[in-house]
Structure 1
Amino acid sequence: MQQHQEDAASYRGAGVDVEREEQVLSRVIETVSQTFAFVRDVGKPVLPVGFFANVIDIGHGMGLALSTDGVGTKLMIAQMMDKYDTVGIDCMAMNVNDVLCVGARPIAFLDYIAVQHANPDLINPLMLGLKEGARQAGVAICGGEIAQVREMLASERDGWGCDLVGMCVGHVPLDKVIVGKSVAPGDVIIGIRSSGIHSNGLTLARQVLFAQNRYTVDTKFEELGRTLGEELLEPTIIYVPEVVEALARSLNIKGLAHITSDGLLNLLRLDTASHPVGYEIDRFPPIPPIFSLIQHAGGIPDHEMFQVFNMGVGFCVVIAEADAASFMDIVKQHGREALQIGRVVSDPEHKVVIRPRGLVGQGNQFFHV
């Protein structure tokens, strides 16, 4: 396999230096992990830092799942559209979907909104989006913070600069925590469709579509059936209802992966160290037209597209073959689309192979073969 160097350079050129982020993150994890020793009894983390969410032991066999995330530069699309009432759904989704990945049910949410000014025409729509996200996820927003930090926020429209971050809490019995330890060859990989770009890869998308090709949010594309801005603002899907129901029915779910940045490479985050496996993707749902548009407009190769974007699959479930059909039925009942996209195989090299595209992934990169 030959590594393609232009992928990292291209994404770095758009403002995201993945290699440097990995270097910084390794030091952050080292420092944060040292704080585990500060907890003597209730509240001890039961997972290492770096999974989709962590779980702390609160006693009596119960755990609290914790995760935090933000919307990122999707807020810049909202600003370009002057439409802020959906990005709160994205913020909720990015957090609750991560909490699902440890087998937990999300129950509560906190938000942090940084603004240039206390602008009600900005903050009120943001809160309406968070409220709708909370309704979809079945959680309560128990508190939050609004910080006026004008000098810290850049914005092309004075008074409208903002950042939106959330934190989710879920609950899970400690003996029901799912991190992938039971994943085995022969298990089935189910992919649940995304609604489009979700909340990852917007920096590269903006660079290609707006900076390089001079499109605007009002540019209409026949293949999208709407304007570019409307497509990019489509909210991230909240997968809570179908996954929580499947967990409640005690289906033999082995692993759960929220497909965000790094795409299907997120499957490699499952804890399968005791029995090295790989993931063979032999089918893939039709790729949403927004990704084909971005790829064509930027001349972006497949390997970079699949490691930056979800490419149409927003959430993956690794499940015993006997329960795969039941899980897909549950997804369908909730109005979502699911497809068996592959299987777990024995693989000491721990790879993700996307056969329809001739891609092999290890670490945080895909390679053409």
Structure 2
Amino acid sequence: MNPKDPLTYQQAGVDIDAGNRLVDRIKPLANATQRPEVLGGLGGFGGLFALPPGYRQPVLVSGTDGVGTKLLLALEAKQHDGIGIDLVAMCVNDILVSGAEPLWFLDYYACSKLDVEVAEQVIAGIAEGCRQAGCALLGGETAEMPGMYPNDHYDLAGFAVGIVERDAILDGSRCRAGDALVGIASSGPHSNGYSLVRKILVRAGAHQHLQLGGEPLIDQLLRPTQIYVRAIQSLRSVVEIHALAHITGGGLTENLPRSLPKELAAVIDPKSWPQPAIFTWLQEQGEVDTTEMRRVFNLGIGMVASVPWEQREAAIENLTISGHAAYCIGRLETRNSSGVVYLD
């Protein structure tokens, strides 16, 4: 090539045609998540969404997140179909804690060189996550940035918006000493603690074909984050929920106090639910202290609902019918010092 020849964007590393092919492929995926309030479709400069009718004092709730270094495991294993579900889950579960119904979701997919096949798999997972959460995939952005990432890498971020009636916002003010803490099972580590997970995998010399309990370890580590939207919507129709806590990075230790008033503490019985084998393996292989495990991982509980003590059994029954294992993992008491107390 003559150094004086005119340059093109493609020669600089950005393939506009590939981007257009991706948009054509994901339009049906986004269309499958549409709600009646969506106006227009993909391709515009912004997504349009009319607020649902029937609200007296609607409050919008927003949240944004990524999937952290779990993405590196997905890249190494070439398993891209579940990571999009993780992305949606981390956002919608957060806004769910305020009592909000997720309305729409936007994604940001960034890479050095666009692989249409891989991007389609990722966005198909995002669409599936939106379907599970009952929200619309309203739009997104695909950014091809040569030199920003290694050629086979990509990054993800997401943004969700939900709605809640002002007097139905869950802010912890309804919590009372004596409330039961109902823990809803996680599907694994979800999308937290993976920098430590990857360190443990190196120390253990683990490989992709390693089996744990008859299932590949990598499949357990890449299992998508559980989306709790429909389970919580059903639960709210049966019992009085005083507070919710999404158990992400920081575990029960850090996340439960965020949903409680300052005068109350969570008293947790760690023997009240079965700890999945993946966490036991990680602790043993990494020789991780129990206190550290509790501050990093969810240890099998992905969401906690504070409900009146007399309604705990009804809550567990309803969650079981919804397809979620649930346990009474503790109670609320007047706080003395720590926000979470473990009964070891």
Indicate which of 258, 268, 284 corresponds to 2:257: 268
Segments ≥4 residues shifted beyond 3 Å: none
* Post-superposition CA distance 1:60-85 (Å, at most 9, x none): 51101100011111111111111101
Indicate which of 192, 206, 228 corresponds to 2:184: 192
> Following TM superposition, by how much is the alpha carbon of 1:220 offset from its aligned partner in structure 2, in angstroms?
2.0
Q: Which residue of 2 aligns with 1:18?
A: none
> Following TM superposition, by how much is the alpha carbon of 1:250 offset from its aligned partner in structure 2, in angstroms?
6.3
Secondary structure, aligned partner of 2:158: strand
Q: Percent identity?
A: 36
CA–CA distance in 2 between the matches of 1:322 and 1:106?
29
1:130-209 → structure 2 map (5 Å cutoff) = 130-153=126-149, 155=150, 159-209=151-201
CA–CA distance in 2 between the matches of 1:61 and 1:303?
43
Q: Which residue of 2 aligns with 1:106?
A: 102
> Following TM superposition, by how much is the alpha carbon of 1:116 offset from its aligned partner in structure 2, in angstroms?
1.3
> Following TM superposition, by how much is the alpha carbon of 1:320 offset from its aligned partner in structure 2, in angstroms?
1.1
**8 A contact 1:186–1:345 mirrored in 2:** yes
CA–CA distance in 2 between the matches of 1:324 and 1:142?
37
**8 A contact 1:122–1:160 mirrored in 2:** no
CA–CA distance in 1 between the matches of 2:60 and 2:88?
17
1:234-313 → structure 2 map (5 Å cutoff) = 234-247=223-236, 249=237, 251-265=239-253, 266-273=255-262, 276-282=263-269, 283-313=271-301
Query: How many residues align structurally?
Result: 288
Structure 1 position 213 matched with structure 2 position 231: no
Indicate which of 284, 302, 307 corresponds to 1:319: 307
RMSD over aligned CA atoms reads: 1.4
TM-score by length of 1: 0.76
**8 A contact 1:72–1:163 mirrored in 2:** no
Unaligned runs of 5+ in 2: 1-54
CA–CA distance in 1 between the matches of 2:215 and 2:242?
39
CA–CA distance in 2 between the matches of 1:148 and 1:232?
28
CA–CA distance in 1 between the matches of 2:338 and 2:167?
26
Secondary structure, aligned partner of 1:340: strand
CA–CA distance in 2 between the matches of 1:169 and 1:250?
25
Which of the pair has more CA radius of gyration? 2
Q: Which residue of 1 aligns with 2:70?
A: 74
* Post-superposition CA distance 1:151-208 (Å, at most 9, x none): 222x4xxx22111111111110011100111211100000001111110011101111
* Post-superposition CA distance 1:80-131 (Å, at most 9, x none): 1111011011111101110110011111111011111121121010011111
CA–CA distance in 1 between the matches of 2:314 and 2:171?
21
Amino acid at match of 1:199: S
Structure 1 position 88 matched with structure 2 position 79: no
Secondary structure, aligned partner of 2:242: strand
Secondary structure, aligned partner of 1:150: coil
**8 A contact 1:80–1:217 mirrored in 2:** no
CA–CA distance in 2 between the matches of 1:122 and 1:70?
18
**8 A contact 1:181–1:270 mirrored in 2:** no
Q: Which residue of 2 aligns with 1:364?
A: none
**8 A contact 2:238–2:315 mirrored in 1:** no
TM-score by length of 2: 0.81
